[in-house]
Each structure stands twice: as C-alpha cells, then as structure tokens.
Amino acid sequence: MTITNTKHSRSLLNPWRLLGWGTIAGLIALPAIAMLFTGEVDWTSEDFVFATVMLGGVGMAFELAVRASGSRAYRGGAALALGAGLITLWANAAVGIVGDEDRLINMWFNLIPLLALFAAIGARFRATGMAVAMTATATAQIGVGVMVQLHGEFAWVFTLVLALAWLASAWLFRKAGATS
C-alpha cells in the first residue's frame, strides 16, 4: 500500500509557485534565446551561472519567507527586500551603479544587501525585528548615497528608489508584526 502526502503534492503544484519558478527559468533562458537571433546579447557560461545563482537564491529565500509566515504583509515585505537586494547586486555586477562595474566605490553598494541579510538573521526573521532591520538598511542605503555624493559621484535616483523599497519593506514587516 502506498501512502501519499496530498498536502505536500498539492503545494508542489501551487500555481503561484509554478509561476514564480517558471518566471525565473524564463528570465534565465531569455538571454540564450536572444543570442540565437542577435549578436547584441553575448552571455558567457559565467553569466548564466551568476544569473542562476542570483535568481535561484532569491527564489529559495522567498520560498522560506512564504513558509515562515502566512501573512501577506510579511511575504510582501520579504519580496520587496529580496527584490531590492537583487536589483542592487545585479545592477552593480552588470554595469556598476557609479561608473562602470570595476570601480571600487561600487563595493559600498554591495554592502547594503549584506547588511540586510545579517540584520534579518539577527532579527531571527521575526516580523517586528525585520521592520527594524529593513529601516536600518534604508538608512545605510541613504548613507552610502551621501558618501558617494561627497566623493563627487551621482547615484541619488538609485539610492532614493532603493531606500524607498527598503522602507516599504519595513512598513510591511511592521504591519505583519502588529497583526501577529
């Protein structure tokens, strides 16, 4: 006699989950398809590995966030934080936020998602602690933007957009903490 865990098998076929992982697979496949039609896109195997690790890592982290809380506010806060971190790291690796990607000053921007990760671990991924962690991350984002400005460079649009994303994430985590 075979026993099937129907709850587990249903979760694997969740349409939202399939859409999320399908989107990640599509985003990774898109450059490969584009390379068949144009020479403008020229990804190496390292580019595909980087994209797979980055997008797959965000997907796995969001899976953990979904399992951590049934709160839509918590999940939204996690999605915004993960998206802000992904955009920061991807933009910096692809073209650089200040000048090209090889400029040392860009490393300061890479510290922002790292701070968010360590602060989230310190908060034990609890909603109220995550709100504080994301507020601190937004503050650090603005601090790096000011430092870059004092260095004579310009990154205000990037800084403000991401600081707002971190703050929106903090607001959602705060909301999730208030309802739990």
Each residue's pLDDT tens digit, 33-85: 999 999 999 999 999 999 999 999 999 999 999 999 999 999 999 999 999 99
* Percent of all residues in the chain with a pLDDT value above 90, rounded to a whole number: 78
Largest CA distance in the chain: 71
pLDDT computed for residue 13 by the predictor: 78
Among 97, 90, 95, 87, which residue's Cα sits nearest to residue 153?
97
Average pLDDT over residues 150-163: 91
pTM: 0.88
pLDDT computed for residue 6 by the predictor: 46
Give 153's pLDDT tier (boundaries 50, 70, 90). confident
Q: Which residue has the higher pLDDT, 165 or 155?
A: 165
Is 88 within 8 Å of 109 (Cβ atoms)?
yes
Among 134, 136, 116, which residue's Cα sits nearest to residue 176?
134
pLDDT computed for residue 102 by the predictor: 81
Tally Cβ neighbours within 10 Å of residue 69: 20
Q: Is the pLDDT of residue 169 over 80?
A: yes
Q: Is the pLDDT of residue 30 over 70?
A: yes
Q: Is the pLDDT of residue 127 over 50?
A: yes
Q: Is the pLDDT of residue 26 over 50?
A: yes
